[in-house]
Amino acid sequence: MSGYTGDVEVGGAYDVRELPGLTVTKVATNPFNNNCYLLRDTSSGQTLLVDAAGDPERLLDALGDGTLVGIVETHGHWDHWQGLVAIVEATGAPVLATAADAGELPVPVDRLLADGDVVTVGAHDLTALTIVGHTPGSVALHYAQAGGHLFTGDTLFPGGVGNTDKDTARFASLIDDVETKFFGAFPDSTWVYPGHGGDTTLGAERPSLDEWRARGW
Q: Note the pLDDT tens digit of each residue in 202-213.
A: 999 999 999 999
pLDDT, residue 95, reads 98
The answer to whether residue 99 scores a pLDDT higher than 50 is yes
What is the tens place of the pLDDT at every residue in 30-60?
A: 988 999 999 999 999 999 999 999 999 999 9
Cis peptide bond prior to 187, omega within 30° of 0: no
Q: Amino acid identity, residue 50?
A: V
What is the C-alpha to C-alpha distance for residues 28 and 143, in angstroms, rounded to an integer?
21
| CA pair distance 33, 217, nearest whole angstrom | 21
Q: Which helix (H) or strand (E) holds 169?
A: helix 168-177
Domain residues of the chain, as ranges?
15-215
For domain 15-215, give the CATH number: 3.60.15.10
pLDDT in tens, 160-184: 999 999 999 999 999 999 999 999 9
pLDDT at 31: 83
Q: How confident is the model at residue 28 (pLDDT cuts 50, 70, 90)?
A: very high
What is the structure's pLDDT at 162? 97
- Mean predicted confidence (pLDDT) in 60-73: 98
Half-sphere exposure of 200 (CA within 13 A, CB side): 18
Residues 89-107 have a mean pLDDT of 98
What's the whole-number mean pLDDT along residues 120-137? 98
Q: Taking the mean position of all CA atoms in its chain, how far away is CA 156?
A: 10
Report residue 118's pLDDT band, with 50, 70 and 90 as the boundaries. very high
1 band by pLDDT with thresholds 50, 70 and 90: very low
pLDDT tens-digit readout, 68-77: 999 999 999 9
- Rounded mean pLDDT, 57-64: 97
pTM of the model: 0.97
Query: Which stretches does DSSP call E strand in 62-209?
Result: 67-72, 95-97, 111-112, 118-121, 124-131, 138-143, 149-153, 156-157, 160-161, 191-194, 200-201
Looking at residue 2, its pLDDT comes to: 58
Question: What pLDDT digit, counting tens, does each position of 107-117 carry?
Answer: 999 999 999 99
